[in-house]
Structure 1
Amino acid sequence: MAKTLSIATKPYPHTAFLSEPGFSAGGHGVDLATVDPIYKAFAPMVRELRYDLSELAIATFLQAREAGAPISLLPVVLSGDFHHHSLTRWPGSAEISPSDLAGQRVGVRAYSQTTGLWVRGILHEEFGVDAKDVNWVTTEEPHVATYVEPTNVERTTGKLLEVLERGEVVAAVLGPPALDGASGPLVPIIPDWREAEEAWGTRHGTVPINHVLTVRRDLLEAEPRTVSALYQAFGTQIEARKAADASPGPRVRALRFGVTDEFVAGLQTAIDYALQQNVIRTPVTVAELLDDFARHLGEHA
């Protein structure tokens, strides 16, 4: 009997096909891991290769690749969003402008969290605030165990929303799960953030990538047709979801399948921001990130 493939993804509409009875790829059944929130699958993937395929934050993938983890990127974006609205303060707290954050304490779940990557890039690009000039207060360690955080990163206890409420930080970077689950309206710090987000998207030609699809390199090398079948299945569902929405918001617009101009632009901007912030320290090209995909799936994709 063919090996059952272990896959870790969040249950999005475009991943529901994985749990359909009888779904298989290349003769392999699928064991869908139950991981909630999905970011708790990231450390086991990059440290232990626990899954055959896994959703992975783009910042985590960049760090894992730099650390030599045998994981390959597939050109599939499972989630993304604009992030100007992700930089928030607690209701009733003192007003502060983005340009005043230098020298201040700002919370983020982990320095290598992808939402933090995008927010720090925005602060530098649009407000002249460099990542090294802010004291980043975190509640979790990096997913990649060998990554050494910058010296202006510290750890605290509790959940990030609690840290923000306690006033230990003047602002916090909160990803979609935390923002969606917050009790009461948090206050975005960036003014006119909706317009600023769309302007960023026009300037960069993309919506920021949060999570991509990755595969163990040994599986990709040994069974490219199996991986191709899964890749195509993800693509079919992503394209169907996008086509079904007549007026898609940024979270749907962010979904990608294939090496499109938008996907390449998203990767390049993530690389640029990551190098700028010491999230990674070794330059890398988009072509290098996609080399395994091109070599092993080029004729099958």
Structure 2
Amino acid sequence: MSAAPAPDAPLFTLACQAYDRMQPLRDGTVGLGGARLNFLDLPVEETFFRMLRFAEFDIAELSLSSYVLTLGRGAPFVAVPVFPSRAFRHSGIYVRADSPITDPAQLEGGTVGVPEYQITASVWIRGILAEHHGLDVASVRYRTGGLDEPGRVEKIRLDLPPGVDVTPIAATETLSQLLLDGKLDAVYSARNPGPFNTPGGGGIRRLFLDPAGTEREYHSRTGIFPIMHTLVIRREVYEQHRWLAGELVKACTAAKTAGLAGIGETAALTYALPWLWAEVERTREALGEDWWPYGLEPNRTTLETFLRYHHEQGLSPRRYEPEELFAPESLAAVVV
């Protein structure tokens, strides 16, 4: 248990989903050095919308893609190399159950739905399919909108290069229903389409027949475990409290260690999954002891790849270097 902060210590509001690696910050098992913390456990879409539109929080989990977009638009936030969310995304490509498409290259000339063109999952999927499966980004038409609820729009205005066809669907339509109706050839989504969660998949299947195997092979070949979200500080807060960046990294690292402790324990199962221990052992064998690394250097290849994709897809004006993303205080190591 961390020492309780002084009553007059500065109070910061952190908006972030209460993942296992963040829960110790929420419940106070791990404290934020020199500060009090108001942890808001919010769905990621709500956090992103409120932070990007209104900068409501002192600290927030934010889409990596959205954050990179803000760098050329006044840079209202500064990030630290803490990554609350990561996910392989070969499993995030959906087609109709009766679709003849079994290979991503078959989507050339087709129409694909994405909740937003700029979201991180979509950037990764397009980049991976272009680099490793021969599906050029501009060879597909993109339709944006709500996955299962109508009305979703891009949170950030985009200025895309000529030749990239991105059009919103009607305000009353959803991507899931358009896919089922045959008006879309595929959907790229971080979340499962609603019908897919019903018994039998509701008429929808994943494009890759063995997505987990495909993702493991991708990691084995590239060393990349895609980063989805990073942690950002509102810039005026950062400028007033430069020490906060380094303390956030320390606190989040301690929270991750505490939150993942015992995840593979077999004596009394922490999570209601009978073979989680086997998955932990397989993950450790494939990704190493620290399979969810924070910091710049362990993530350099992943970040460089993402920043290249982001620029190639017309979302950033130039190819940023990973060091440009993070507060310098969060990258410095104290040597004694």
CA distance in 1, matches of 2:131, 2:194: 23
Match of 2:24 in 1: 17
1:13 is paired with a residue of what secondary structure?
Answer: coil
RMSD, aligned CA: 2.9
What is the 5 A alignment of 1:181-220? 182-184=197-199, 185=201, 186-220=204-238
- How far is the alpha carbon of 1:189 from its aligned partner? 1.5
CA distance in 2, matches of 1:237, 1:25: 10
Query: Could you list the runs of 5+ residues in structure 1 that have no partner in the other structure?
Result: none
1:294 aligns with 2:336: no
Q: Per-residue displacement from partner, 1:210-246 (whole Å, max 9, x unpaired)?
A: 1111112232232233343332111112234456444
1:51 is paired with a residue of what secondary structure?
Answer: coil
- How far is the alpha carbon of 1:121 from its aligned partner? 1.0
Match of 1:229 in 2: 247
CA distance in 1, matches of 2:27, 2:196: 28
Kept in 2, the 8 Å contact 1:206–1:266? The answer is: yes
- How far is the alpha carbon of 1:54 from its aligned partner? 0.7
1:86 aligns with 2:92: yes
Match of 1:279 in 2: 315
The structure with the greater share of residues assigned to strand is 1
CA distance in 2, matches of 1:257, 1:40: 24
What is the 5 A alignment of 1:44-193? 44-139=50-145, 140-145=152-157, 147-149=158-160, 151-156=164-169, 157=171, 158-176=173-191, 178=193, 182-184=197-199, 185=201, 186-193=204-211
Query: Could you list the runs of 5+ residues in structure 2 that have no partner in the other structure?
Result: 1-7, 146-151, 265-279
Provide the aligned length of Structure 1 versus Structure 2.
296
1:126 is paired with a residue of what secondary structure?
Answer: helix
- How far is the alpha carbon of 1:110 from its aligned partner? 0.5
1:167 is paired with a residue of what secondary structure?
Answer: coil
1:228 is paired with a residue of what secondary structure?
Answer: helix
- 270-279 or 17-26, which deviates more: 17-26
CA distance in 2, matches of 1:260, 1:273: 19
TM-score by length of 1: 0.86
TM-score by length of 2: 0.78
Match of 2:42 in 1: 35
CA distance in 2, matches of 1:101, 1:113: 20
User: Percent identity, aligned pairs only?
Assistant: 23
CA distance in 2, matches of 1:124, 1:97: 12
AA of the residue aligned to 1:298:
A
